[in-house]
Each structure stands twice: as C-alpha cells, then as structure tokens.
Structure 1
Amino acid sequence: MQRIGLRLLGLLVVFGIVLVVSALLNSAASGNPVTALLVGGLTATGGILLYRLLVRRLEHREADEVSPATLLPGVLRGTAAGIALFTVTIALIAAVGGYRITGWGSLSAAIATLGTMIGAAVAEELLFRAVLFRILQDWAGTAVALTVSGALFGALHLFNPAATLWGALAIAAEAGVMLGAAYTATRSLWLPIGLHLGWNFAESGLFGTVVSGTTGTHGLLRSVTEGPAVLSGGAFGPEGSIFAILVGGVTAAVLLRHAHTHGRIVPTRRTAR
C-alpha cells in the first residue's frame, strides 16, 4: 500500500506540473490558429510520451491504455460523441429559452480553440484518469475512484475566473463521473480524451459559450445564455445547467453498464494491499 501511495503521489506531482505548463503554453499560443494547433498538438504528444516512459519505468509494463494502435479510432469516436452530447445539452437549454445565437464568429477562432482544447483535454485526462482514477480503481475499486477523481476534477474548476461551487459540483457529477466511466468501459484513455475534447470544442469552438467559468469564447457562433442559472448554467456556462448533469449522468450510466457487462468494474476493497 505504501508503494502504491508513493507512486500515485509522484505521478500526481509530475502530471500536475504537466497540466500547469500545458495550460500556460496553450494560453500563450491561443491567439493564432496555427500556433494554437501546433502547441496544442506538441503539448499533448509530449504528455503522452512522458506518461508512457514513466509507466514503463515505474510499473514495468507497456502503457496499453495509450496504445498508438487504438489512438485514431478511440479519439475520433470519443470526439464525435462529445460533440453530439454537448449538442443535445445546448439544444435542451435552448428549448427552455436559455441559449440564443447572436451572430457569427470565425473559422480561425474555432480552429484556435480546437488547438487549445487538444492540449487541455490530454493534460487533464492524463492527470485525472490515467493517473488518479486508474491507480485508485486498481487499489480501492471503481466506486472509490469515481468519487475521489470526480470530486477533485470538479474542485480544479473552482480556480476558473467565473467559478461557482454549484458549477464545480456539476462538473464533478457530469464530467468527472462520465469520463471515469469511459475509461472503465474501455480500459483506454483515448475515449475519455475524445469525449473531453469534443464536448469542450463544441461548447466554445462551435456554439460560442463559456467553458467551465473561463473568460472569453471563440468559435463559429456568437451567443448568449440567459434565464435561471440552474437551466442555462449562468456565468459558469452550460456545464452548470441541470441539463448537462442529466446528459452526463445518463451517458455515465450507459458506460458503467457496459463496463459491468464486460467484467470491468473493480469491486470496492475494504483493505488495499
């Protein structure tokens, strides 16, 4: 147990630093579509390569959860699903008068957002799913891993400029659990990376809404969210909407059912060894 704790702590520190550095680099490059795509791709690739190296050194195995052989289908499938899930969410918000398109943005802004989101999705998934969730699940079981990683993932978003406690709780419930369930269902990091990327890109790059309380939106559309925060998400953005929690929760339930059917749920262990 002590060895597992030390390995978890060490990897959390390393990939916490990766997350901060990636965020700073991607923010600096976000003003131009070419530099945003380039830096986003480089930080994502660097993070994955570092993870593979550390897993090989510390765990004496190949990191099959980020196997290059399954990268393209996993990320593409996840990205398409993430875009579709957010589209359903924003459609529900619009149906109750909480979302309104006000004009066109630009294609270059959407491309720049895509590059930024690539770097963010990979860095966050490496820290929260590849390291925290995976090790906790193997050590203490799926339920504990979902609870702890989801709560900490939500807490991370309290540092965003327009963060709210409700928004952080919503992120924990809808995204933290859904992305952990995606990893459990596939034992691969590519699906959660794709889901994370597709959702965030659609949120800002396509529909022009605020992402998790961050300031500034850059995408194909210009829009406003209005009405009760519980429906629209308020200043935190659509992820603070009850509809986002509903969509994320249903998706997580489907993924966990799939994981259970295929014997991938790890039971809670009272005594970790």
Structure 2
Amino acid sequence: MRLLKQFGAVAAVALAGSLAVGAVRGNPFLTLGLGLATAVLALLTYAWVVRRTERRAPVEVAGKGAGAAVGRGLLIGVGMFAAVIANIALLGGYRIDGMGSAAGALALLGFMAAAAVTEELIFRGILFRIVEERIGTWGSLVLTGLLFGLAHLFNAHATLWGAIAIAVEAGGMLAAAYAATRTLWLPIGLHFGWNFAQAGVFGTTASGRTGPEGLLDGVLSGPTLLSGGEFGPEASLYAVLAGVVLTIVFMWLARRRGHLVPRRRRTARTDPTATLAQ
C-alpha cells in the first residue's frame, strides 16, 4: 500500500505539471517556471508521503550535499551524451546546420527539470527502492529498468528497440547510480544532464519527443543503430554501450560500499507438531 500511496501522490503532481507545461509550451518563461515548480513540488510531495507512509525521514532527498551531488550527476550526464554524439558525428551520423533557439533551450530547461525529477522519484525513489526490499538490488534493477523502458513505448516514434535501449542504458544506469549513493540527487542530476544535453544543447530528439529547438540545430542521419533514427541518439548503440559501462561502474561502487541488498528469502513455516513435541 505504501508503494501505491507514494506512487499516486507523486504521479498526481507529475500529471498536473505536465498538463500545465503543455498548456503554455509556446511561452518559454512560463514553461521554465512551471517546470521548475513541478520539480520542487514533486520533491516536497515525495518527502511528505514517505514520512506519512514509512514513519521515517526521507534521507534520500535530504538537503545536505544535494547541490554537489546534482552537480556531479549533471557533469556525468552532459559528458556522457557529448561522448555519444561525438562518436556519432565522427561516422557522419550527426551534423550542425546552424544555431537553434535560446528561448527554446530555456523552455527545455524547465521541461527537462520536471521530467528528470518526477521520473527519478517514481522509478528510483519509489519503485526501485521498495521492490529492492523484496527481490534485492540486482532483481530490482532489472525489473524497474524494463518498466522504465516500456514506459517510453508510448512516446512518439517509439520502437521496441528504442524501449530496450532505454531500459538498458538509462533504467539500469540510473538505478545503479542510486544504489551506489543511496540518494536520488546524483541520478536526478545525471538524468537532467543527459536529457538537456540531447535536446537543449545539441538539438536532437529526446526519446522520440519533438519540442522546442535547442541551442544548436542538430540533424541526425544514417543507420538507426548508429544515430538512433527518429527516436533519437538514445537508440544508438553508442548510448547503450555508454550506459552499460556506467552501470558496471556504479554497481561496483555499490558493492564496494556495502550498498547491495540481497533477495529476501522466505522464512520457513513452523511445524506445529514439532513445536508440541518439544
């Protein structure tokens, strides 16, 4: 029940924010403001519902060290995408046709902030964390990663390969980032940095979604496995490889720090006749 209550509370904020942002998408300043407001409200709602349903302090979103952790995640996410797009460009799959739109990048800043925060709260803060208690870190990583990939099948230009790529490179990597740090700030920063670099900086399609122009007018071409096709660079083998590498690194850190949770074993049922015999 706590999973359902937490999911329902954060999902309601995410839906309301998405509708509000969609209604003013033509205005970059309102989109920025509403996106940031959605992110803040979702964090406050998560902290409140965790306190109510689990009777504990939500340490995974504690304010201490949050800025530094988000900053580290941001650098990793931007650096990761820059490496992916550079490799695609070297083989002729990406080119820049000129400058894009600063106003569009501003709107994407708010939109991507809301998406990164709400998705991390739902998929890592709620689903991964609670499921992990039952089936362990590795099992939860696989299961919630698949769910994260399947959720992207509803996006425009979605394909089964694109969903699988998202599940591997993002679903697994972001869950591993949480397991390694036991806070949501690093995965939030990583998620935002990756998404904003895609659409807001390099001007490519993010998870099949088209929206405002980014800072650059980027064009993808060539085989889908190289460039990602209409779904965007996230469906590129380069992105999958980068995600797998970071997943391995984060899970190594989680193991080294003693953060891995084993699968819960079923307790054997007590034999009442044995008890009476004693």
Q: Fold conserved (TM > 0.5)? A: yes
Residue 165 of structure 1 pairs with residue 165 of structure 2: no
Scaled by the length of structure 1, what TM-score is found?
A: 0.94
2:31 & 2:212 partners in 1: Cα distance? 15
Question: Following TM superposition, by how much is the alpha carbon of 1:272 offset from its aligned partner in structure 2, in angstroms?
Answer: 8.4
Displacement of 1:144 in angstroms is 1.3
Conservation of the 8 A alpha-carbon contact between 1:19 and 1:123 = yes
Post-superposition shift, 1:136?
1.0
* Alpha-carbon distance, 1:30 to partner: 3.2
Report the alpha carbon displacement of residue 216 of structure 1 after superposing the two structures with TM: 3.1
1:235 aligns with 2:224: no
Counterpart code for 1:8: L
Aligned to 1:3: none
Equivalent residue letter for 2:224: A
- For residues 232 and 130 of structure 1, the distance between their equivalents in structure 2, rounded to whole angstroms, comes to 31
Aligned with residue 54 of structure 2, among 59, 65, 87: 59
CA distance in 1 between partners of 2:224 and 2:233 (Å)? 9
Amino acid at match of 1:266: V
What is the Cα deviation at residue 202 of structure 1?
0.2
Deviation at 1:15, TM superposition (A): 2.6
CA RMSD of aligned residues (A): 1.5
Say if 2:48 is the partner of 1:16.
no
Please show how residues 175-214 of structure 1 align to structure 2 within 5 Å.
175-214=170-209
Unpaired stretches in structure 2, ≥5 consecutive residues? 269-278
- Match for 2:24 among 29, 40, 48? 29
1:3-152 to 2 correspondence within 5 Å? 6-152=1-147
Task: From the CA coordinates, give the structure whose radius of gyration is larger.
Answer: 2
TM-score, normalising length: structure 2: 0.93
Cα distance change of structure 1 residues 188 and 12 upon mapping to structure 2, 3 Å threshold: same
Instruction: Tell me the equivalent position of 1:262.
Output: 257
Task: Tell me the alpha carbon deviations over residues 101-152 of structure 1, each in whole angstroms, 9 at most, x when there is no partner.
Answer: 1111022211111111001111111110100011111222001110111011
Aligned AA for 2:167? Answer: A
Match of 2:272 in 1: none
> How far apart in 2 are the matches of 1:14 and 1:271?
31
CA distance in 2, matches of 1:149, 1:46: 24
Q: Percent identity?
A: 50
CA distance in 2, matches of 1:188, 1:133: 12
Q: 1:181-207 deviations in whole A, cap 9, x for unaligned?
A: 010000000001000000000000000
- Shift, 1:64, TM fit: 0.5
Contact kept? 1:101, 1:223, Cα under 8 Å: yes
- Is the 2:229–2:235 contact (alpha carbons within 8 Å) kept by the matching residues of 1? yes
- Residue 274 of structure 2 corresponds to which residue in structure 1? none
CA distance in 2, matches of 1:87, 1:27: 28
Q: Distance in 1 between matches of 2:178 and 2:208?
A: 25
| Contact kept in structure 2, 1:26 and 1:119, CA below 8 Å | no
- Partners of 1:209 and 1:217 within 8 A in 2: no
> Unaligned 5+ residue runs, structure 1?
1-5
